[in-house]
Amino acid sequence: MSKDIVSLKRASDIDCVCHGKESYEDDFFYDYTNIFTQLHVWIPFDEFTIGVLRLLNVAPTQVHPNGRGYIQAFKLLCKWLYIDPSLECFLYFYCTHPREPASWVSLIRKPKAPLFRSYSDSFRNFKRRFFRIIINKSG
């Protein structure tokens, strides 16, 4: 992660992570700490991850960590197979729940095309631990 592009700040207990930027001057978004510590997501997001988020029309925190894990695992599998990850291929294996627009989205395996199992460890209390990811002026 380049400090020229973003910087991280721990969200405080009084931050309303589901609200907009309120009175903050910086451009930023929130994300779960476990996404970085357990799933090894990097900032800035790669084009594939951005494409999935755009297609689903959600912010990073609106996707359950298991879904974020599926995205990471799919990218690693594609890299191992020397192919570029594609949204079409990803959506062959996964769909969203709920299917209608909601504040929360889970990616679930399609029963006829299971690719990976769910992350077996629990993400207990993941909704309570956030980083504020600040986009620096040069980013």
Straight-line distance from the first to the last Cα atom of the chain, in angstroms, rounded to the nearest whole number: 12
The answer to whether 78 and 93 are in contact (CB under 8 A) is no
**pLDDT-based confidence at residue 28 (cuts at 50, 70, 90):** confident
Q: Is residue 39 part of a domain?
A: yes
User: Would you call 61 exposed, middle or buried from its count of C-beta atoms within 10 A (0-12, 13-18, 19+)?
Assistant: buried
* Tens-place pLDDT, residues 45-97: 899 999 999 998 888 888 888 888 889 889 999 999 999 999 999 999 988 87
Q: Count Cβ atoms below 10 Å from residue 69 Cβ, excluding itself.
A: 21
Report the half-sphere exposure of 64 (CA within 13 A, side-chain side). Answer: 18
Q: Is residue 1 part of a domain?
A: no
- The number of folded domains in the chain is 1
Q: Is residue 122 part of a domain?
A: yes
Q: Is residue 65 part of a domain?
A: yes
Find the mean pLDDT for residues 114-133: 66
Per-residue pLDDT at 101? 60
Which residues are CB-neighbours of 88 under 8 A, at least 6 positions away? none
Phi first, then psi: give them for residue 8, nearest 5 degrees. Answer: -110, 140
Q: Is residue 36 part of a domain?
A: yes
Query: Which is it for strands 6-10 and 130-135: parallel, antiparallel or unpaired?
Result: antiparallel
Domain residues for the domain of 126 are: 6-16+24-135
Closest CA to 46 of 26, 80, 76, 18: 76
Question: For residues 81 and 123, what is the distance between their CA atoms, to the nearest angstrom?
Answer: 29
Per-residue pLDDT at 107? 86
Question: For residues 127 and 109, what is the distance between their CA atoms, to the nearest angstrom?
Answer: 23
